[in-house]
């Protein structure tokens, strides 16, 4: 992820962001456990890794490793404070006895410790989802990966696994969709001479020269193309193939006229030139286009999930629900990618419906006599 702050000047003290609310929740929780150590048994799955401040995590680790003193002992002697300092200071050198007293003063009500713990877990859930989204974005935009599609799908599975784990802690409920304003989709390489535009033109030329492949390329859609004109021309060829009409540069041009292309800026000569250089196989160019579309949509999905995590008004329920919705939109494209890249032997032939009988409805079965063996079954 780019470091946006690196392009800005030095921040003054007035520009520094305020402490996040979770820091006060951590202080309140630790203060509750200093005042009433036995409340540590009420915190569920909270662990040191959930804390945003390393010192707080080290202190909580010491609390979980030590045996809390009996209430009457804790009321008379500072054995709990002494034990915490001895255990935690090697791992948090800034920790002092005065800071423990500050934590105790920061706790409004020790009985609210489970609520403070839930706030800390919720904040860690937000950061965990954000980190998974950032890894997905990085995979979708890395130009040197040998198999970018496989890497992106692995990162997508990792995001799904994170959401499944967190979903057990924060079950969804009605009204849990986030209201975050989503960022615009990332730009695509659509310039003249780009690899994307060249490969799309090669697909159009090659598919027009060898149209027999089109019925088997239903996994490619017009929206996968980076250049809208190319996508509409591919739709024209697919329509001709569906109707069983002849396909060549001229028939596609005529179909394109019915789609309004010739009156919306593209000339007939420009359309014909797109079909002038067939090379390779349509399936190869189609897979290249589909892979680029997969990476683009994975990038957009990662940005959407990242935007959800950057909005502090979203609850963990909203983060999980919104992220799952974003991944579902990517799932349809993923299914098409698997269909396109399966070996030919693994592709099942499309089931053909049985021909309708023209002899009318089937004749009624003759009635079975009451005394026959079939009637007695």
Q: What is the DSSP string of 235-301?
A: HHHHHHHHHT---SHHHHHHHHHHTT-TTTT--HHHHHHTTS---S-HHHHHHHHHHHHHHHHHHHH
Give the C-alpha separation, 26 to 81, whole Å. Answer: 17
Mean pLDDT is highest, among 17-31, 178-192, 277-291, 363-377, for 277-291
In CATH terms, 19-108 corresponds, of 1.10.860.10, 1.20.120.160, 3.30.70.260, 3.40.50.1010, to 1.10.860.10
pLDDT at 221 over 70: yes
Q: What residue ranges of the chain are covered by domains with CATH 1.10.860.10? A: 19-108, 195-291
Query: pLDDT at position 176, please?
Result: 73
pLDDT at 143 over 80: yes
Query: pLDDT at position 290, please?
Result: 96
- Tell me the pLDDT band of 264, cut-offs 50, 70 and 90: low
Instruction: Give the pLDDT confidence of 314-328 residue by residue, as tens digits.
Output: 999 999 999 999 999
Give the C-alpha separation, 91 to 93, whole Å. Answer: 6
How far, rounded to the nearest angstrom, does the alpha carbon of residue 254 sit from its chain's CA centroid?
41
Query: pLDDT at position 348, please?
Result: 54
- Tell me the pLDDT band of 25, cut-offs 50, 70 and 90: very high
Mean pLDDT is highest, among 101-110, 343-352, 360-369, for 101-110
pLDDT at 102 over 80: yes
Closest to 330 measured CA to CA, from 289, 293, 373: 293
C-alpha angle 94-98-100 in degrees, rounded to nearest 5: 80
Write out the two tokens for 165.
């784990």
Query: pLDDT at position 20, please?
Result: 85
Q: What phi-psi label fits residue 280: left (phi over 0), alpha (psi between -120 and 50 degrees) or beta? A: left
Could you identify the residue written with the tokens 């019925």?
215
pLDDT at 207 over 70: yes
Any idea what DSSP says for residue 170? S
- Tell me the pLDDT band of 360, cut-offs 50, 70 and 90: very low
Domain 195-291, second-level architecture: Orthogonal Bundle (1.10)
SS3 call for 226: coil
- What average pLDDT score do residues 198-222 get? 94
pLDDT at 353 over 80: no
Given a contact cutoff of 8 angstroms between Cβ atoms, the answer to whether 246 and 178 are in contact is no
- Alpha-carbon dihedral 259, 262, 265, 271, rounded to 10 degrees: 100
DSSP 312-360: TT--HHHHHHHHHHHHHHHHHHHHHHHHHHS-GGGPPPPPPPPPPPSS-
pLDDT at 194 over 50: yes
Could you identify the residue written with the tokens 């049985």?
354
Give the C-alpha separation, 45 to 338, whole Å. Answer: 38
Q: Give me the chain's average pLDDT, please.
A: 85
- What average pLDDT score do residues 110-124 get? 96
pLDDT at 375 over 50: no
Query: pLDDT at position 27, please?
Result: 95
- Which has more pLDDT, 240 or 15? 240
Give the C-alpha separation, 34 to 53, whole Å. Answer: 17
Q: What's the chain's length in residues?
A: 377
- What average pLDDT score do residues 91-97 get? 89
Which sign, positive or negative, has the C-alpha torsion 325, 331, 332, 333?
Answer: positive
Between 62-71, 318-327, 356-365, the lowest mean confidence (pLDDT) is in 356-365
- What average pLDDT score do residues 42-70 get? 94
Name, in order, each residue with C-beta under 8 angstroms of 123's C-beta and a sequence gap of 6 or more.
20, 22, 25, 50, 52
């Amino acid at each position: 992820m780019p470091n946006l702050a690196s392009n800005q000047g030095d921040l003054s003290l007035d520009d520094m962001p305020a402490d996040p609310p979770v820091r006060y929740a951590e202080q309140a929780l630790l203060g509750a456990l200093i005042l009433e150590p036995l409340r540590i048994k009420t915190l569920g799955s909270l662990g040191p890794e959930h804390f945003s401040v390393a010192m707080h995590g080290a202190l909580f680790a010491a609390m979980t490793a030590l045996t809390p003193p009996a209430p009457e002992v804790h009321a008379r002697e500072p054995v709990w404070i002494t034990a915490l300092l001895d255990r935690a200071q090697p791992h948090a050198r800034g920790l002092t006895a005065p800071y423990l007293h500050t934590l105790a003063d920061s706790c409004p009500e020790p009985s609210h410790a489970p609520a403070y713990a839930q706030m800390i877990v919720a904040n860690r859930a937000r950061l965990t989802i954000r980190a998974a989204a950032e890894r997905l974005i990085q995979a979708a935009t890395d130009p040197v990966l040998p198999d970018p599609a496989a890497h992106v799908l692995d990162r997508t599975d990792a995001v799904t696994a994170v959401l499944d784990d967190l979903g057990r802690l924060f079950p969804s409920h009605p009204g849990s969709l986030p209201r975050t304003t989503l960022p615009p989709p990332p730009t695509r390489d659509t310039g003249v001479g780009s690899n994307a535009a060249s490969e799309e033109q090669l697909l159009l030329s090659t598919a027009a020269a060898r149209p027999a492949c089109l019925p088997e390329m239903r996994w490619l859609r017009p929206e996968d193309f980076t250049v809208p004109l190319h996508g509409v021309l591919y739709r024209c060829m697919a329509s001709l193939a569906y109707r069983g009409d002849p396909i060549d540069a001229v028939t596609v041009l005529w179909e394109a006229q019915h789609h309004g292309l010739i009156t919306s800026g593209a000339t007939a000569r420009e359309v014909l030139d797109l079909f002038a250089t067939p090379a390779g196989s349509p399936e190869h160019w189609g897979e290249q286009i589909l892979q680029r579309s997969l990476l683009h949509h994975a990038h957009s999905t990662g940005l959407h999930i990242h935007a959800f995590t950057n909005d502090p008004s979203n609850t963990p329920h909203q983060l999980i629900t919104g992220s799952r919705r974003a991944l579902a939109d990517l799932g349809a494209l993923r299914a098409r990618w698997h269909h396109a890249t399966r070996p030919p032997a693994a592709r099942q032939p499309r089931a053909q419906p049985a021909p309708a009988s023209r002899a009318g409805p089937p004749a009624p079965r003759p009635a079975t006599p009451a005394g026959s063996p079939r009637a007695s079954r």
